[in-house]
């Protein structure tokens, strides 16, 4: 199964994805932003379609091997549709982490935001990244990353201790229609 973790910069996607991988058996994390490191010389905007294509390919490889996959990235509707199509044939769920804008624009934990990141966060909120029409939305402002991961696992029908395989939860997955 694939779990897409959507949200703006500083919403907690990477930290929650890592916590989710600790909770769910046989789960790999594909952080789309990290794929840009392979082509660091390329402008970020130019690299986004390639990064998404690579994330889908890596995710599909993990899925075909029998692993679950968590893919984290700020998804707009075309990016979501691309990933859903590229990973067709495997169960897919999407969760958007959406703390209030003022929370997302604050330094959280050890992360110190740049001016560009603060502006990009405002852009993400203005363009609907934090409130898409697909998947489920979680306001994680008052949760620890582990609590958010446990909420996602619960919504998937998986006990937070990993006591249930994800394949048992296929009929209870949030979809783009929920």
pLDDT tens, per residue, the chain with 178 residues: 999 999 999 999 999 999 999 999 999 999 999 999 999 999 989 999 999 999 999 999 999 999 999 999 999 999 999 999 999 999 999 999 999 999 999 998 788 999 999 999 999 999 999 999 999 999 999 999 999 999 999 999 987 555 444 543 333 334 444 4
Are the CB atoms for 101 and 122 separated by under 8 Å?
Answer: yes
What region does 171 belong to: left with phi over 0, alpha with psi -120 to 50, or beta? Answer: alpha
Q: Per-domain residue ranges for the chain?
A: 2-172
Q: How far apart are CA 100 and CA 103, in angstroms?
A: 5
The token pair at 164 is 């249930």
At residue 173, the pLDDT reads 39
| Edge-first strand listing for the sheet containing 27-31 | 27-31, 68-72, 2-7, 92-97, 136-138
Residue carrying the six token digits 């006990």: 159
**Helix ranges, 44-132 (H):** 44-64, 77-86, 101-104, 115-126
Give the Cα separation of 30 and 63 in Å (integer): 12
- Would you say 71 and 83 are in contact if contact means Cβ atoms under 8 Å apart? yes
Q: At what angle do helices 13-23 and 145-155 cross, to 10 degrees?
A: 60
Q: What confidence score (pLDDT) does residue 155 get?
A: 96
Statement: 2-172 belongs to CATH 3.50.50.60: no
The Cα–Cα gap between 4 and 34 comes to 15
């Amino acid at each position: 199964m694939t779990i897409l973790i959507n949200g703006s910069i500083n919403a907690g996607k990477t930290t929650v994805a890592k916590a989710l991988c600790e909770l769910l058996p046989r789960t790999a994390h594909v952080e789309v932003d990290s794929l840009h490191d392979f082509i660091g010389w390329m402008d970020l905007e130019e690299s986004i379609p390639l990064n998404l294509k690579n994330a889908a390919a890596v995710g599909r490889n993990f899925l075909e091997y029998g692993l679950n996959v968590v893919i984290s990235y700020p998804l707009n509707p075309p990016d979501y549709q691309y990933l859903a199509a590229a990973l067709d044939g495997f169960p897919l769920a999407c969760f958007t982490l959406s703390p209030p804008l003022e929370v997302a624009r604050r330094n959280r934990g050890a992360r110190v935001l740049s001016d560009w990141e603060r502006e990009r966060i405002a852009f993400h909120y203005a363009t609907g990244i934090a409130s898409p029409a697909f998947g489920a939305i979680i306001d994680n402002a008052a949760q620890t990353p582990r609590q958010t991961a446990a909420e996602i696992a619960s919504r998937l029908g998986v006990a937070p201790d990993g006591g249930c395989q994800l394949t048992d939860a296929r009929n209870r997955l949030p979809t783009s229609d929920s």
